[in-house]
């Protein structure tokens, strides 16, 4: 069996396996799996509206996935994407509503604000890790809570006691009438292009620049990097900052695209945490993240149509979706195992 063939076969088999087990779950629970999957398909690709919403859902996942993947490539586990996304969301929403500027200034400004807010939220754990060796996982988890509650307080403050920020001005919006009309009034916005641009940015940084070389080197072996004269501390901080900026832009997707404002949140969005799975599914590579985010985003969004069209209750749907993702992730494991085995053989 050739390498290419395996590479293609494994994900297909794992998706099929996931679908089969999911079907069994539906069948045993007394629902029609065929109708369920047709509903899922229609939920994702059924009409222009669904396609629009699916792509809209994918955008923040791409950015969250990039954030996790970027930090991971430098050997850091950024669990704080969630918090960075939340502060980015608020920053974008605030800049979007508080200023009145022409679009070509306002929109970039709001995006930059989101990226900066996320970067700041990544900077703190980065500095703590680099200078005091405080483990970034602990710090970033805590920073998530700080972000959530600080932002809730800020929303209250800027809305004078209310629970949501005012809508952003049109000049800061990523929404477009063109995309909306194209997709039958879906909330699809230009965010997907921002996300894809960031994929290119991450790829460029890692694969083309000197900084990328250093980041990867530090990620694989910080000792050897230090011996080679690299500034390990600087690279750790930089990695967290860039990661945070990606996450902050993920928040901007919600602020400037999907919602147009921010509402006091009782809990986390979950996008940041799903970003971990997205990054791992994509093997922490920029293009892989697109794949992971597309899978996550489409399944998540499409799943909503299963209760709507096939009457499968949302709880069963959640199990089925989780199973499919589980099998795809295991497929990745299988692939890694296969390649490891091959490597071992070659080494001997």
Partner 1 sequence: MSKRKFGLVLSMILAAGTLLGACGTDKAKEKEGSTSTPKEDTFSIAMVTDTGGVDDKSFNTSAWKGIQDYGKENNLEKGDGGFDYLQSKEDAEYMPNLNKLVQRDFDLIYGIGYLLKESIEEVATQRPDNKFALVDEVSDLPNIASLMFKEQEGSFLAGVAAAHMTKSGKIGFVGGMEIPVIERFEAGFLAGVAAVKPELKVDVQYTGDFAKAELGKALANRMYSTGVDIIFHAAGGSGTGVFAEAKERKKADPNAYVWVIGVDSDQYEDGQIGDDNITLTSMLKRVDIAVKNTAELAAKGEFPGGEVTTFGLADEGIALADSRGAIPQDVLDEVAKYTKQIADGEIEVPEFKAKK
Partner 2 sequence: MEYVIEMLNIRKEFGNFVANDDITLQLKKGEIHALLGENGAGKSTLMNVLFGLYQPEGGEIKVRGKATAITDPNVANGLGIGMVHQHFMLVENLTVTENIILGNEPKKMGMINVKDAAKKVAEISKLYGLDVDPYAKIEDISVGMQQRVEILKTLYRGAEILIFDEPTASLTPQEINELISIMKKLIEEGKSIIIITHKLQEIMDVSDRVTIIRKGKGIGTVITSESNPVELATLMVGRQVTFKTEKGPSYPAEEVLRIENLVVEDYRGIQKVKGLNLSVRKGEIVGIAGIDGNGQSELIEAVAGLRKVKSGKVFIDSKDVTGKKPREITESGLGHIPQDRHKHGLVLDFSVGYNVALQTYYKEPLSKKGIMNYKLVSKKAKEIIEMFDVRTQGEHELARSLSGGNQQKLIIGREVDRNPELLIAALPTRGLDVGAIEFIHKRLIEQRDNGKAVLLISFELDEVMNVSDRIAVIYDGIIVDTVIPTETTEQQLGLLMAGQSRDKAAVTLTEGDDNHVE
Q: Is 229 in the site for partner 2 (CB under 8 A)?
A: yes
Q: Residue 103 binds which one of partner 2, partner 1, none, with CB within 5 to 8 A depending on kind?
A: none
Q: Does 239 bind partner 2 (CB under 8 A)?
A: no
Is the separation of the CB atoms in 180 and 190 below 8 Å?
Answer: no
Closest to partner 1 by CB, 124 vs 327, is: 327
In the stretch 77-116, what mask flags binding to partner 2 with x, by CB under 8 A? ----------------------------------------
Q: Which of 17, 29, 38, 42 binds partner 1 (CB under 8 A)?
A: 42
Residue 212 CA to its chain's centroid (Å)? 21
270 binds partner 1 (CB under 8 A): yes
Among 252, 290, 312, 328, binds partner 1 (CB under 8 A): 290
Q: Is residue 263 near partner 1 by the rule CB under 8 A? A: yes
Both structure tokens of 300: 């998540």
Region of 61-69, 90-98, 121-129, 257-265 interacting with partner 1 (CB under 8 A): 257-265
Residue 212 in contact with partner 2, rule: CB under 8 A: yes
Nearer to partner 2, 158 or 230 (CB): 230
Beta-carbon contacts of 162 under 8 Å, excluding residues fewer than 6 positions away, are 155, 156
Q: Which of residues 302-321 bind partner 1 (CB under 8 A)?
A: 304-305, 307-308, 311, 314, 318
Distance CA 10, CA 14 (A): 6
The secondary structure of 64-105 as a DSSP string is HHHHHHHHHHTT---TTHHHHHHHHHHHHHHHHHH----HHH
**How crowded is residue 322: how many other Cβ atoms within 10 Å of its Cβ?**
15
Please give the residues from 176 up to 235 whose contact with partner 1 meets the rule CB under 8 A.
184-187
CB-based contact 117:255 (threshold 8 Å): no
C-alpha angle 309/313/314, rounded to 5°?
95
């Amino acid at each position: 069996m050739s390498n290419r063939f395996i590479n293609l076969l494994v994900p297909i088999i794992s998706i099929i396996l996931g679908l089969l087990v999911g079907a069994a779950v539906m069948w045993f629970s007394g629902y029609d799996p065929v109708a369920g999957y047709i509903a899922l398909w229609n939920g994702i690709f059924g009409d222009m509206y669904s396609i629009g919403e699916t792509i809209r859902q994918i955008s923040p996942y791409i950015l969250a996935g990039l954030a996790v993947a970027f930090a991971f490539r430098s050997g850091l586990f950024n669990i704080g994407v969630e918090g960075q996304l939340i502060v980015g969301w608020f920053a974008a929403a605030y800049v979007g509503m508080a200023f009145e500027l022409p679009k070509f200034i306002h929109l970039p400004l709001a995006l930059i604000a989101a990226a900066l807010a996320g970067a700041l939220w990544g900077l703190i754990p980065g500095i703590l890790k680099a200078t005091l060796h405080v483990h970034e996982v602990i710090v970033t988890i805590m920073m998530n809570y700080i972000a959530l509650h600080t932002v809730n307080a800020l929303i209250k403050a800027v809305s004078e006691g209310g629970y949501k920020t005012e809508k952003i001005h049109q000049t800061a919006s990523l929404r477009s009438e063109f995309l909306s009309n194209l997709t039958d009034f879906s909330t699809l916005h230009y965010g997907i292009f921002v996300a894809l641009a960031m994929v290119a940015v991450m790829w460029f940084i890692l694969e083309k620049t000197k900084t990328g070389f250093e980041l990867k080197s530090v990620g694989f072996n910080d000792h050897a990097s230090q011996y080679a004269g690299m500034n390990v501390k600087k690279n750790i901080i930089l990695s967290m900052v860039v990661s945070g900026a990606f996450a902050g832009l993920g928040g901007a997707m919600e602020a400037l695209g999907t919602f147009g404002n921010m509402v006091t949140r009782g809990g986390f969005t979950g996008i940041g945490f799903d970003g971990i799975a997205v990054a791992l599914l994509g093997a922490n590579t920029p293009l892989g993240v697109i794949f992971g985010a597309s899978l996550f985003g489409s399944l998540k969004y499409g799943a909503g149509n299963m209760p709507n069209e096939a009457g499968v209750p949302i709880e069963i749907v959640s199990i089925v979706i989780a199973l499919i993702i589980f099998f795809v992730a295991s497929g990745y494991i299988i692939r890694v195992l296969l390649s490891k085995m091959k490597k071992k053989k070659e080494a001997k």
